[in-house]
Amino acid sequence: MSNLWSTNTAMNAEDVWDDSALIQMYEESLREVNRSAGVTEKTFTDAEGKTTTWKVGGNCMAPFEENGDKSYYPAKINSFGGTDNLEVEVTFYFYGNKAVVQMEELWIEEAAIAEAVAADEAEKSKATNTNTRASSTQQPSTSTATPSLPEMVPVPPDVLNMAPPANVEEATNSALMSWYMAGYHSGYLKGMQHAQNSRH
């Protein structure tokens, strides 16, 4: 992030547009905001009157939307946030992607969740066994690659409930995040306009 691009440097386009450190900083800031709230359990009553208690570390079926198609996948609850703590950050089993979804969209499908948890535990056990086995030769991978969901930019923390930055580092982080979000949404808008123009 501290590298500046010029025609005299050996940086390529990938180096110039590498914002992984900024994304990581944003995700850490979001997790810190959610942690500071300290909510680890939330009881929710849906429109039909069914009450469910969701817990951090618990499992659910959560929505993932791509190209207008919404599908539900087994996920683990990471944290609660947003207004009235009704936004839920989840990590999808099989894919490892994180998303922030509305609590009203979560539901339970015991069989799918049990299958996902068992596969996750088997994968962790396999990784542990592979790491503990001392071998000087590279073993070919026998696992099948699971297609990954595209990364989604997390929803910004609830700005109205945040205190002003306490120090220069926090103020710098806030400025960088606003710059990143403005760039992201500007690019998204430009992409939508380009897609619309190419259809006509």
pLDDT of 77 reads 94
25-68: per-residue pLDDT in tens? 777 676 666 555 567 888 999 889 999 999 999 999 999 988 88
> Sorting pLDDT into bands at 50, 70 and 90, what band is 134?
very low
Cβ-in-10-Å burial (0-12, 13-18, 19+) of 182 comes to exposed
User: Which pair of structure tokens corresponds to residue 189?
Assistant: 């808008």
140-186: per-residue pLDDT in tens? 444 444 445 455 555 555 555 556 677 888 778 778 888 888 888 88
**What domains can be seen in the chain, in order of their start residue?**
38-128 (2.30.30.140)
- In angstroms, rounded to a whole number, what is the distance separating the alpha carbons of residues 87 and 84? 8
65 bridge partner residues: 70
Q: How far is CA 147 from CA 84, 95, 150, in A?
A: 34, 7, 9
pLDDT of 114 reads 92
pLDDT of 110 reads 92
- What's the CA angle centered on 23, arms 79 and 73, to 5 degrees? 45
74-121: per-residue pLDDT in tens? 999 998 877 777 889 999 998 889 999 999 999 999 999 999 999 988
Strand order of the β-sheet with 98-102 is 59-66, 69-81, 87-92, 98-102
pLDDT of 36 reads 53
User: Which pair of structure tokens corresponds to residue 57?
Assistant: 């570390």
pLDDT of 191 reads 81
Judge contact between 35 and 187, C-beta under 8 A. no
